[in-house]
Amino acid sequence: MFRRLPDELLTSAPAVTILIDGRPFAARAGDSVAAALLASGRPACRTTAASGDPRGPFCMMGVCFDCLVVIDGRANQQGCLVAVAEGMEVETQKGARDSGIRRRT
Ligand code: FES
């Protein structure tokens, strides 16, 4: 569905190395995390809490929440709204993650 433009059509954006599930990937400066995940060949970046089905970036503009990932240890980050940064660690989000919000019982 999504594919990068050929290198000769792109500007000379410098490479930014990020880790995706522990493996290095050369993203481009200015890429969103979701764009980098798609460029790396990963169509899914999370699994659903209910069924475990894979989900991947869809809207690329902060509406669908199908791009949730763990970024530098913080869960529930919308990958399409976060720009890559050198050394950033991105992990596939599996099911529901702890939001950090505690409910009173
Ligand atoms: S791709 Fe839809 S919110 Fe990120």
| Predicted confidence pLDDT, tens digits, the chain (105 residues) | 667 777 666 667 889 999 999 999 999 999 999 999 999 999 899 999 889 999 999 999 999 999 999 999 999 999 999 999 999 999 999 988 765 555 565
Is 65 inside any structural domain?
yes
Contact 57, 38 (CB under 8 A): yes
Question: 104 CA distance to ligand 1 centroid (A)?
Answer: 31
pTM value? 0.84
Is 27 inside any structural domain?
yes
Q: Where are the beta strands (DSSP E) in the chain?
A: 15-20, 23-28, 46-47, 54-55, 68-71, 74-78, 89-94
- Residue 68 CA, closest ligand 1 atom number: 4
Is 86 inside any structural domain?
yes
CATH number at residue 34: 3.10.20.440
Is 69 inside any structural domain?
yes
Is 21 inside any structural domain?
yes
Is 103 inside any structural domain?
no
The range of the structural domain enclosing residue 69 comes to 7-94
**Secondary structure (3-state) at 23:** strand
Q: Is 18 in the pocket of ligand 1 (CB under 6 A)?
A: no
Question: 67 CA distance to ligand 1 centroid (A)?
Answer: 5
What's the number of domains the chain is made of? 1
